[in-house]
Amino acid sequence: MSGYGCVQTGRGPVLTRRQGGALAALALAVLAGAIAALVPAFVVLEVREWRSGRLLYLAPVRPQSRFEVTFVHSVERTPVREVFTVGPDLDIYLVETVYESFGAGLPTTAEEGARFVLEGGTMRITGMHRRIGQLVLSVSPVPGHVLRVANRAVTLANLADPGTALGIKVVRVPAAAFFFRGRCWWMRR
């Protein structure tokens, strides 16, 4: 026997079972990497804990996709809905705000190019195209703070403790990472 783990036969060295398994695993990893390199990256909306950068939620989106953040206003105690869209540059844009009362931090007029509409006690500002880039928010201690994306509603307090700062942005992720982690997922400590 050779010191390299090969068995001598009349036909030359033969790999041991252990070496053959390692070689097969390496070949499989190379094949998976080659396939992943051929598949284009996916565009996703990701939610991360702002300070640690820990990934909390991921969902597929594409340019022109819409998503919403709803919450209960901390002073007025009325619902607020903010509608965002994914721009072709993958930045986040605020396109609409809907609320039921005037109060601290709530707009009283529409910005230039937008429209203020009063409908049955609901105020709506439409036609906005305010570039946000990355959305940073704090998880509200008031119930009702929800992210709605791709027909899914995710309660932000299920992702992180109230008061935790979250960063929400749109990024490209390699196809392999997206498939290995699942189409959509969220987790809590």
Residue 86's contacts (CB-CB under 8 Å, 6 or more residues apart) are: 43, 45, 61, 62, 63, 64, 65, 66, 67, 92, 93, 170
Terminal CA-CA length for the chain: 52
Model-level pTM?
Answer: 0.73
Q: Which residues pair with 94 in a beta bridge?
A: 84, 130
| pLDDT in 10s for each residue of the chain, 189 residues | 444 454 555 565 666 777 767 777 788 777 766 766 666 678 999 999 999 999 999 999 999 999 999 999 766 778 889 999 999 999 999 999 998 877 666 777 778 888 988 888 888 889 999 999 999 999 998 888 999 998 899 999 999 999 999 999 999 887 666 555 544 444 443
